[in-house]
Amino acid sequence: MTWPGLSAAPLAAFGELRRLQRARLALHRCSLLCGRHFGPALLLAAAGNFVGIVSLSYGLVMVRVSRQSSPSMAWLSIWLLFVLGNLLLTCWACSSAANRATRVAVLFSKIQTLLRPGDASDTSRLEMDPLHFSAAGFFDVNLPLFVSTVSAAVAYMVVFLQFSELQRTSYNSKM
């Protein structure tokens, strides 16, 4: 790329620039369609993963407290890791797409200064909202969702542990 007005130097590879613009628009269109058609599914998946994480954590605590066999603890741990991995993969994919769209927007803003009005710069001037994947409009599916879900599950686990300790001490004091 060179500055407009320099003779004998090409301004930009317009074919590649148009291809990048089409890819940017397709990514935003895909995000909107995913939000419309798969938003409820993303909502149910995130809620199901949260309930699964809390339930499995509680199961692990109860198995540990009751000192049952280790195979049940191993299966619960594997299942918990699977649910955590499922949620992490979903959140990472959505965050990765949003980050790439942000990088393309920054690239277009840098290219915009080099392009003369008209030519290939018309579609790069389109105002677009930041890319995000929504779970039926309730929340965005991204990496902070994973962190907050795990944080909430840990908070519930701490409450379960404290409650089980309270029950055990009150039961022992009655006897």
pTM for the whole structure: 0.70
Distance in Å from the first CA to the final CA of the chain: 83
Return the minimum-mean-pLDDT range out of 15-19, 26-30, 71-75, 154-158. Answer: 15-19
Distance CA 64, CA 147 (A): 25
CB-CB contact of 72 with 63 (8 Å): yes
Query: Reduced to 3 states, what is the DSSP secondary structure of residue 141?
Result: coil
Q: Assign 8 a pLDDT band (cuts: 50, 70, 90).
A: very low
Of the candidates 152, 146, 151, the one whose C-alpha atom is nearest the C-alpha of residue 88 is 146
Q: How far apart are CA 158 and CA 146, in angstroms?
A: 18
- Does residue 6 have a pLDDT over 80? no
Q: How many CB atoms lie within 10 A of CB 2?
A: 11
